[in-house]
Amino acid sequence: MMKGFEFNEHIERSPQDVFEVLSNPTRATEFLDNITASSKLTDGPIAVGTKFRETRVVNGKEASADLLVSAYEPNTQVSISTEAEGIKVEYHYHLSPDGGGTRLKWTCELEASGLRRMMLPMVAGIMKKEDGDHLRRLKAYLESG
């Protein structure tokens, strides 16, 4: 059973420019206030299997999570996943040329088994509230630069 949500945004920058920022979680601190730190844990260029550690403020408290790049197609698609307390979260970003800019589709999928499945609608709501405006913030950041 999967729960989640989806957002779309048009950004007046090329798919390459958008992908460059979006596919590197260490850049999230540049445009998201709730992300206080992000570091790359694996060596080499970013690709499927690259791991990051992200620290963010949630309800006034700092929490860290390990992120995994689970899909990576330059300028087209990147997916980032994490797992905590039996709930797997995957963010999928699909980029396509749109006029002179980029159409960015972001899908959040949450998965769990057993009793944790009952928590998915609540967790999806919390995540939508926490991260729901990050495409808008990404757009403002990229279009101002």
Measured between alpha carbons, how far is 22 from 77 in angstroms, rounded to an integer? 10
Residue 58 clears pLDDT 90, i.e. is over it: no
For residue 91, name the pLDDT band (cuts at 50, 70, 90).
very high
pLDDT value of residue 139:
96
Q: Which residue has the tokens 């990576």?
A: 72
43: tokens are 């060596």
Characterize 60-94 residue by residue with b for buried, 16 or more Cβ atoms within 10 angstroms of its Cβ, and e for exposed.
Answer: eeeeeeebbbbebeebebbbbbbeeeebebbbbbb
Evaluate if pTM is beyond 0.85: yes
Q: What pLDDT sits at residue 124?
A: 87
Instruction: Say if residue 1's pLDDT is above 70.
Output: no
CA atoms of 8 and 136, how far apart (whole Å): 9
Give the per-residue pLDDT at 113: 87
Tell me the pLDDT of the chain averaged across its residues: 93
Instruction: Please state the rounded mean pLDDT for residues 27-56.
Output: 95
